[in-house]
A and B are shown apart, each in its own frame.
Chain A
Amino acid sequence: MSKHSSADQAPIPTAPVPPAHWAASYEEEPTQASAPPQPNGMTALKPFGWAKDNLFNTPLNTALTVACLFLLWLVVPPMANWLLLNASWSGSSEACREAAGACWSVIVVKHRLIFFGTYPYDEQWRPFLACALFVAMLGASGVRAFWRPWLAVAWTLTLVGMGVLMWGGVAGLTYVPNDRWGGLPITLMLSVFSIALAFPLSILLALGRQSSLPAIRTFCVGFIEAMRGVPLVSVLFMASVMFPLFLPEGVTVDKLLRALAGMTLFTAAYLAEAVRGGLQAIPKGQYEAADALGLSYWQKTMLIVLPQALRIVIPPIVNQFISAFKDTSLVTIVGLYDLLTAATVATTDPEWRPYFAEVYVFAGLMFWIFCFSMSRYSQWLERLANRYTRR
C-alpha cells in the first residue's frame, strides 16, 4: 500500500482496527483507542476516582496536570475576555477602539467582501445561492444511500446551475465576468473541479505506472514523480506564466482556468499514487482469473480491477480533497481572489486595519469547519470500509 506516499494530508494509519463486533458503534471517537483504559464502569459516577486515575496517577502525571492547569489559567481567561466578554459585536470602528476585546463588528461590516470578494454587491445573492447549492450537494454526496448513478446527473445539473448563477447572462441575470468572482465560491469551485478533473487523469496515470509497456510506464512515472517533487507554487507559476506561451498566438486562457489546470495536474499526480495503492491491494489471483477468462486488458481493468480498487481508495481521495481545499489558498500567489485573499484585502482597509486578528480567526474558522468535517467523514469511511473487509 502506498498509503504513505500520498499528499500532505496523507491518510494516517489509525489505531489498530477494532474487532468486528465493535464496528457497529463507529460513531465513537477515533482517539478512543489511545484513551486511557477505564478501570471500571463506575468511573463516570466518581469524578474524584476518575481524576485520580487519569490525572494524578503518577508523580509525572500530577506534575503535567498542574502544568496544564497553569497553562489553562494563563490562556483561557484572557482569551475568553478577548473573544467574548469584552468583544464589541456591532457598531463602528470607534466603538471597537474603546472596547478592550475583539472587534467582531469588522466581520459584520466586511463579511460580504470576505465571502464574495469583488462580485457586484447587489448580485451577491447569486454566489450565495451557488455556494449553498454546492455545500448541499457535498453533504448529500456523503450519504451512502445516495451513491447511485443519479448522483452524477445531479452533480452535472448543479454545476450547470452554478455556472448560470455565477456568470449570468441568461434568464434576466446580468453577466458577471469571472475576473469579478472571488471569495468562497472560488475556493469551493477550484477544489471540487480540480479533484473531479484530476480523478480520471489519475486513474490513467496509475494504470500507466503499472503498465508492462516501458514507454508508457516511463512517461507516467516521470510525470508523477516530477509533479510530486516540486512545490504547488511553482506549478501555479508555470500555469500562470507559461501556459500563455504554449498556446498559439492570439489564443488566451483566463487566469482562473490556468490556475485550475495547474491544480488539476498537481492533484492528479498525488491521486495517482493513492489509486496505485488500491491497484496493488488487489490479490494477484484476480488478475490471473480475468486473464484465464480471456478478458482483454480494458475488460479486465474496467470489470474486475477498478471496481475493487476504487472502493479501497475512497478514503485517500477524501483526504486528497481536504489537501486540495487547503491548497486553493495558494492561488492568491498568482493573483486570484479566493477566500484568503479576500480576508487579506479586508484587513488592509485603514479604518479596520488594527483588527486583522479577528478577520484571520474568522477565515481560519471557515477553512477549519470544512476541513475538520471532511476529515471526520473520511475516518468514518475508513471504518466503514474495514467493516466490510474484516470479518
Chain B
Amino acid sequence: MTNPVQALNSARVRGWLYQALFLACALAVAWYLVSNTLTNLATRGVATGFGFLHREAGFEIGESLLPYSASDTYLTALVVGLLNTLAVSAAGVVLATVLGVLIGIGRLSSNWMVNRFATLYVETVRNVPLLLQLVVWYTILNRLPSPREALEVLPGIFLSNRGMKFPVLVEHAGHGWILLALVAGIAAAIAVVRYGRRRRETTGKPFPTLPAVIAALLLPPALAFIVTGAPLAFDVPALAGFNFEGGGSVTPEFTALLIGLSVYTAGFIAEIVRSGILAVPHGQTEAGLALGLSPGKILRLVILPQALRVIVPPLTSQYLNLTKNSSLAVAIGYPDLVSVSNTSANQTGQVVEAVAMMMLVYLIISLAISGFMNWYNRRVALVTR
C-alpha cells in the first residue's frame, strides 16, 4: 500500500510531476505570447494566415534563376529567393572546400614560405567578421572600372562594376547526348567500384579501380562529343557600346557574396583539414613505407581514409555555417531568402508568417545537409565490432 505521500518519494512519480509542471508552465507562456500577438495584430489591423502568398508581390528582384516579374505572387518571389540562397551556398561550398583543402595542405607544407603564407591567410580571415569582409568585397566590386575599362582577369573573363562576365557554351543538340553519355559513365563507374571492391574482398586480387573509374567517366562523353561533331563554340562577351554583349554574367552582389563566403569559410576548412591529417599518427605513414607503398598510395590508402573520419563531422558544420551565413546577403542587397522575406514582410505586415517560413526553410536546408553528411560520415566512419 502506498499512500500519496509515499508515492512522492518514488523518482518516477516525481518525474511525471515535474514534467506535468513544466508542460503547464510552457503552455501558459505560449498561450500568453500567442494571445498578446493576436491582440497586437488585431489592433494594428494586420491580417493573419498564409493567404498573402497568392497575392501579387509587386516588387522586382534583381536576379533570378526563374522567370520572374513584379506581377508574380509572393510565393514565387520567395521561391526565387530560396533558389538564390541555394545557388550561392552550393557554389560557395565547392569553392570553399577546394580553397580550404589547398590552404590546409599548405599549412602542413615542409616549405617554410608556403607554411607562413597559409598561416597568415588563416589567422587573418578567421579573426575578422564575415560581414566586414563582405562589405569590403562588395565595395571593391562596386568601385571597379565601368565595362569600357573592364579588367580581363583571365582570357574572356571580365570584371567590371556591372559584375563578372564570362564565356558560355553555345547551345547545340549534341550537348544533350554528351550529358546522357556522362550519366551512363557515372553509372558505369559506380558499377566498376562495386565490382572492384567485391573482387578484392572475396578473392583478395587487387583491381585497378582508379584508372577504370576515370575511363568509365571520360570515355562515353568523349565518344559522344566526337560523334555529335565536337560542338565547342563559345559565346565570348564582347564590348558593345557601354556594356558587354553575349556571354554569361553574374551580378556584383552574387560575386561579392560568393567570394566573401568562400574566402571566410576556407579559413576554417583549412584548419579542419590540417588537424585531420595531423590526427593520423606518424607511425601509419612509416608502416605504409615499410610495406613498400608509394607516397601517393600511402596518402590515398592509409592517411586519407583515417583523416576523413576526423574531418567530416566538423566539415559538416562548416557547410551548414556557410549556408546560414549566406543570409548576410541582405546587407549587400543580394536577393536571397532573408532579403525577399524581409521585403514581403514589410509590404504585407505579416511579419510572423514571413519570419516563421524563413526559419522553417533554413531548418529544412540544415537538416537536409546534415542528413547527407551523416550518411557520408557513416560510410567513412570506423567500423568496430
B110: A residues at CB distance < 8 A: 36, 54, 57, 61
Q: Which residue of B lies closest to A62 (CB)?
A: B111
A377 beta carbon closer than 8 Å to chain B: no
B136 beta carbon closer than 8 Å to chain A: yes
B325 & A64 in contact (Cβ 8 Å cutoff): no
A242 & B355 in contact (Cβ 8 Å cutoff): yes
Assuming the contacts A68-B113, A327-B129, asked whether A246 and B327 have C-beta atoms less than 8 A apart, the reply is no
**Size of interface on B: residues with Cβ below 8 Å to A:** 72
Complex Cα–Cα for A230 and B15 (A): 32
One of A6-14, A84-92, A114-122, A171-179 at the interface = A6-14
| Binary flags per residue of B267-284, CB closer than 8 Å to A gives 1, else 0 | 010011011001101000
B355 & A249 in contact (Cβ 8 Å cutoff): no
Complex Cα–Cα for A158 and B135 (A): 34
A238 beta carbon closer than 8 Å to chain B: yes
B328 & A233 in contact (Cβ 8 Å cutoff): yes
Interface residues of B in 107-144 (CB under 8 A from A): 107-115, 117, 119, 123-124, 126-133, 135-136, 139, 143
Interface residues of A in 1-31 (CB under 8 A from B): 3-10, 12-16, 31
| Binary flags per residue of A105-133, CB closer than 8 Å to B gives 1, else 0 | 00000000000000000000000000000
A137 beta carbon closer than 8 Å to chain B: no
Interface centre among A69, A234, A329, A372 (most CB of B within 10 A): A234
A31 & B113 in contact (Cβ 8 Å cutoff): no
Q: Which residue of A lies closest to B278 (CB)?
A: A15
Q: Which residue of B lies closest to A215 (CB)?
A: B19
A367 & B127 in contact (Cβ 8 Å cutoff): yes
A226 beta carbon closer than 8 Å to chain B: yes
Partner of B18, one of A216, A340, A372: A216
| Least Cβ–Cβ distance between B257 and chain A, in angstroms | 13
B115 & A34 in contact (Cβ 8 Å cutoff): yes
B135 & A245 in contact (Cβ 8 Å cutoff): no
Partner of A36, one of B112, B135, B327: B112
B132: A residues at CB distance < 8 A: 329, 340, 343, 360, 363-364, 367
Complex Cα–Cα for A367 and B128 (A): 6
| Least Cβ–Cβ distance between A117 and chain B, in angstroms | 16
Interface residues of A in 309-354 (CB under 8 A from B): 322, 326-327, 329-330, 332-333, 340, 343-344, 347
Assuming the contacts A367-B132, A372-B127, asked whether A233 and B330 have C-beta atoms less than 8 A apart, the reply is yes
Partner of B363, one of A3, A213, A230: A230
A213: B residues at CB distance < 8 A: 15, 18-19, 22
B342 beta carbon closer than 8 Å to chain A: yes
Interface residues of A in 365-391 (CB under 8 A from B): 367-368, 371-372, 375
Q: Which residue of A lies closest to B119 (CB)?
A: A31
B26: A residues at CB distance < 8 A: 219
A237 & B362 in contact (Cβ 8 Å cutoff): no
| Least Cβ–Cβ distance between A382 and chain B, in angstroms | 12
Assuming the contacts A35-B115, A332-B331, A368-B124, asked whether A238 and B359 have C-beta atoms less than 8 A apart, the reply is yes
Complex Cα–Cα for A132 and B279 (A): 41
B112: A residues at CB distance < 8 A: 36, 54-55
B310 beta carbon closer than 8 Å to chain A: yes
B135: A residues at CB distance < 8 A: 340, 344, 360
A371 & B127 in contact (Cβ 8 Å cutoff): yes
Complex Cα–Cα for A195 and B356 (A): 26
Complex Cα–Cα for A361 and B117 (A): 19
A241 & B109 in contact (Cβ 8 Å cutoff): no
Complex Cα–Cα for A231 and B107 (A): 30
Partner of B318, one of A8, A242, A322: A8
Complex Cα–Cα for A126 and B271 (A): 40
A248: B residues at CB distance < 8 A: 36, 39
Complex Cα–Cα for A26 and B287 (A): 31
The secondary structure that dominates the A interface is helix
B130 & A234 in contact (Cβ 8 Å cutoff): no
A161: B residues at CB distance < 8 A: none
| Least Cβ–Cβ distance between A344 and chain B, in angstroms | 7
**Size of interface on A: residues with Cβ below 8 Å to B:** 72
Interface residues of B in 323-374 (CB under 8 A from A): 324-328, 330-331, 338, 342, 345, 351-352, 355, 358-359, 362-363, 366-367
| Least Cβ–Cβ distance between A179 and chain B, in angstroms | 21
A40 beta carbon closer than 8 Å to chain B: no
| Least Cβ–Cβ distance between A51 and chain B, in angstroms | 8
A16 & B272 in contact (Cβ 8 Å cutoff): no
A34 & B108 in contact (Cβ 8 Å cutoff): yes
Interface centre among A6, A10, A212 (most CB of B within 10 A): A10
Assuming the contacts A360-B135, A371-B127, asked whether A13 and B275 have C-beta atoms less than 8 A apart, the reply is yes
| Binary flags per residue of B25-40, CB closer than 8 Å to A gives 1, else 0 | 0100000010011011
B352 & A245 in contact (Cβ 8 Å cutoff): yes
B131 & A330 in contact (Cβ 8 Å cutoff): yes
Assuming the contacts A4-B314, A226-B363, A234-B359, asked whether A249 and B40 have C-beta atoms less than 8 A apart, the reply is yes
A215 & B22 in contact (Cβ 8 Å cutoff): yes
A245 & B131 in contact (Cβ 8 Å cutoff): no
B33 & A246 in contact (Cβ 8 Å cutoff): yes
Q: Which residue of B lies closest to A371 (CB)?
A: B127
Partner of A10, one of B131, B279, B314: B314
| Binary flags per residue of B137-157, CB closer than 8 Å to A gives 1, else 0 | 001000100000000000000
| Binary flags per residue of A224-248, CB closer than 8 Å to B gives 1, else 0 | 0010111111100110011011111
A371 & B128 in contact (Cβ 8 Å cutoff): yes
A10: B residues at CB distance < 8 A: 268, 314, 317
Extra A-B contacts (15), CB below 8 Å, given A226-B363, A241-B351, A368-B124: A5-B313, A8-B325, A10-B314, A215-B22, A229-B367, A231-B338, A232-B324, A234-B355, A242-B351, A242-B355, A330-B131, A332-B331, A340-B129, A357-B136, A371-B128
A-binding residues in B (CB < 8 A): 15, 18-19, 22-23, 26, 33, 36-37, 39-41, 43, 107-115, 117, 119, 123-124, 126-133, 135-136, 139, 143, 268, 271-272, 274-275, 278-279, 281, 310, 313-314, 317-318, 320-321, 324-328, 330-331, 338, 342, 345, 351-352, 355, 358-359, 362-363, 366-367
Name 30 A/B residue pairs within 8 A (Cβ), A-sorted.
A13-B275, A16-B278, A55-B112, A64-B109, A64-B113, A65-B113, A65-B114, A212-B15, A230-B359, A230-B362, A230-B363, A232-B327, A237-B338, A237-B342, A238-B355, A241-B351, A242-B351, A242-B355, A245-B36, A245-B352, A246-B36, A322-B127, A327-B129, A329-B129, A330-B131, A340-B132, A356-B139, A364-B128, A364-B132, A371-B128
> 5 nearest interchain CB pairs?
A371-B127, A231-B327, A231-B324, A229-B366, A215-B19
